[in-house]
Amino acid sequence: CKAFCESGDFDEGEFVDDAMTQDELDDGFCLPCQAKPHSDMVLQIRTTSILAKTGPETFQAEVTKVGALSDTVFELELEVEDRERLNFLPGQYVNITVPGSEETRSYSFATGPQEDKIAFLIKNTPNGLMTNWLKNVAKVGDKLKFEGPMGSFFLREPLQPILLLAGGTGLAPVMSIMESLANDELLDVPVRLIYGANTNVDLVRLEEIAAYKDRIADFDFFTVLSQEDDHERKGFVTNHMDPSEHLADGEADAYLCGPPPMVEAVRTYFDGHDTPPLNFYYEKFNANQQPGAKTGEEVAEKAEKTAAKVGV
Ligand SMILES: Cc1cc2nc3c(=O)[nH]c(=O)nc-3n(C[C@H](O)[C@H](O)[C@H](O)COP(=O)(O)OP(=O)(O)OC[C@H]3O[C@@H](n4cnc5c(N)ncnc54)[C@H](O)[C@@H]3O)c2cc1C
């Protein structure tokens, strides 16, 4: 429970070196389970989604919508059994078991925590296991199961100007975050979104994003395309970031989600920046993060071998 004490006086109580060292105490840390406050205190506490009471559970769900939003992005909408049991924070993800296999793939909620149905934005990955299911098999009424919610990438209390950076289907958790911000009656900080993708085909949900201009008092966004010559803003999201508009001159909370190379590029950019964000949270859409996960081709190969063995 070690926490950093920003202000206030306290008696540190008793503690062992394993829990906190004398040096850490001298540096301003305390153990809230032992310390006795002498005044009001402000503590920096490292929380996780587990502490936020959103630990993972298994859920059954039925497909209520499935299809391609564009040549490169699928949408999957689900009605969850015992929806009231599913509490998640905007930005978190679940592991969906791909129907017809025992493999799981991770997907971030693209809907806000308050919405009845949940939805996902899924990239069309040629020969991918989930992709093949979405493209060739999935239909309304299909059943599937998922485990979640998971992840420490989620919207924190919006106290500073917010910069949202989405790369490709990294838009999904950002949509969930924007939906929560739109429902936050106390929100009084500016929200900016830079949505990057390769080509025009990758851009989805633009009307829904634009509609947030009517629902979030101070919201604006633009798109950046890396491979489209005639787009208004060509290049990467970092080429079009304005220190005052987007980084609030070092006061912003930045949330970034996208493919690993994009996340690394933005991290490097912030590292060398004069006014990087005050807080920076990110999620990488790594492929097959779960240990032992098999890709679409491996599962197909195994199915063929099994079929050959039983003489199909
Ligand atoms: C926390 C987290 C959240 C995520 N959220 C999202 C999200 O919201 N939206 C989203 O689109 N993605 C998200 N992802 C990525 C997602 O989990 C999948 O990795 C992605 O959708 C690909 O899954 P797939 O089953 O279609 O492809 P896979 O079956 O995993 O295949 C991946 C690639 O490997 C190739 N391949 C297949 N077989 C072989 C082989 N034998 N040898 C070499 N290559 C092979 C395939 O052609 C394909 O290009 C997230 C990832 C993480 C970790």
- What is the per-residue pLDDT for 311? 34
How far apart CA 178 and CA 208 sit, in angstroms, is: 10
Mean pLDDT computed over 293-312: 48
Query: Is 102 in the same domain as 178?
Result: no
Residue nearest to atom 38 of ligand 1 (CA): 297
48 pLDDT band (50/70/90 cuts)?
low
Q: Is the CB of 283 under 6 A from ligand 1?
A: yes
Instruction: Give residue for tokens 């101070």.
Output: 218
Query: Is 71 in the same domain as 182?
Result: no
- What is the per-residue pLDDT for 2? 85
Q: Which letter, b or e, does each residue of 271-305 get, where b requires 16 or more Cβ atoms within 10 Å of its Cβ? A: eeeeebbeebbbbbbeebeeeebbebeebeeeeee
pLDDT exceeds cutoff 70 at 261:
yes
CATH of the domain at 180: 3.40.50.80
Q: Is the CB of 101 under 6 A from ligand 1?
A: no
Q: Is the CB of 174 under 6 A from ligand 1?
A: no
286 pLDDT band (50/70/90 cuts)?
confident
Q: Two tokens at 185?
A: 């009656």
CB atoms within 10 A of CB 71: 9
CA 74 to ligand 1 center in whole angstroms: 13
Residue nearest to atom 50 of ligand 1 (CA): 285
Mean pLDDT computed over 157-177: 97
- What is the per-residue pLDDT for 305? 46
Residue nearest to atom 28 of ligand 1 (CA): 128
pLDDT exceeds cutoff 50 at 175:
yes
Residue 230 phi, psi dihedral angles, 5° rounding: -95, 15
Q: How large is the angle between the packed helices 171-182 and 206-215, nearest 10 degrees? A: 20
- What is the per-residue pLDDT for 180? 97
- What is the per-residue pLDDT for 287? 82
Q: Is the CB of 149 under 6 A from ligand 1?
A: no
Structural domain range at position 35: 3-44
CA 294 to ligand 1 center in whole angstroms: 10
Query: Is 220 in the same domain as 129?
Result: no
Residue 173 lies in a domain: yes
Q: Is the CB of 172 under 6 A from ligand 1?
A: yes
Closest ligand 1 atom to the C-alpha of 168? 11
- What is the per-residue pLDDT for 46? 73
Torsion of the alpha carbons at 105, 108, 113 and 117, rounded to the nearest 10: -60
198 pLDDT band (50/70/90 cuts)?
very high
Residue 187 lies in a domain: yes
Query: Is 188 in the same domain as 280?
Result: yes
- The tally of domains found in the chain comes to 3
Closest ligand 1 atom to the C-alpha of 172? 8
Of the two residues 66 and 307, the one the predictor is more confident about is 66
Torsion of the alpha carbons at 143, 148, 151 and 155, rounded to the nearest 10: 80
52 pLDDT band (50/70/90 cuts)?
low
Residue 66 phi, psi dihedral angles, 5° rounding: -155, 140
Q: Is the CB of 108 under 6 A from ligand 1?
A: yes
Query: Is 272 in the same domain as 234?
Result: yes
Mean pLDDT computed over 294-312: 47
Residue count (the chain): 312
Residue nearest to atom 5 of ligand 1 (CA): 107
Q: Is the CB of 123 under 6 A from ligand 1?
A: yes
Closest-CA residue to 284 (of 300, 297, 299, 266): 266
Mean pLDDT computed over 105-125: 97
Residue nearest to atom 44 of ligand 1 (CA): 295
> Does an H or E element contain 261, and which?
helix 260-271
CA 287 to ligand 1 center in whole angstroms: 4
Query: Is 178 in the same domain as 254?
Result: yes
CA 193 to ligand 1 center in whole angstroms: 25
- What is the per-residue pLDDT for 194? 98
Q: Is the CB of 111 under 6 A from ligand 1?
A: no
Q: Which letter, b or e, does each residue of 123-159 get, where b requires 16 or more Cβ atoms within 10 Å of its Cβ? A: bbbeebbbbbbbeeebeeebebebebbbbbbbbeebe
- What is the per-residue pLDDT for 294? 57
Closest-CA residue to 106 (of 253, 283, 268, 281): 283
Residue 185 lies in a domain: yes
Q: Is the CB of 227 under 6 A from ligand 1?
A: no
Query: Is 172 in the same domain as 143?
Result: no
How far apart CA 262 and CA 167 sit, in angstroms, is: 7
Q: Is the CB of 190 under 6 A from ligand 1?
A: no
The SS3 call for residue 44 is strand
Query: Is 132 in the same domain as 67?
Result: yes
Q: Between β-strands 191-197 and 219-225, what pairing exists: parallel, antiparallel or unpaired?
A: parallel
**Taking CA 46 as the corner, what is the angle to CA 89 and CA 265, rounded to the nearest 5 degrees?**
75
Torsion of the alpha carbons at 117, 121, 127 and 133, rounded to the nearest 10: 10
Instruction: Give residue for tokens 């070690």.
Output: 2
Q: Is the CB of 74 under 6 A from ligand 1?
A: no
**Percent share of the chain, pLDDT over 90:** 82
> Does an H or E element contain 58, and which?
strand 57-68
Query: Is 91 in the same domain as 203?
Result: no
- What is the per-residue pLDDT for 237? 96
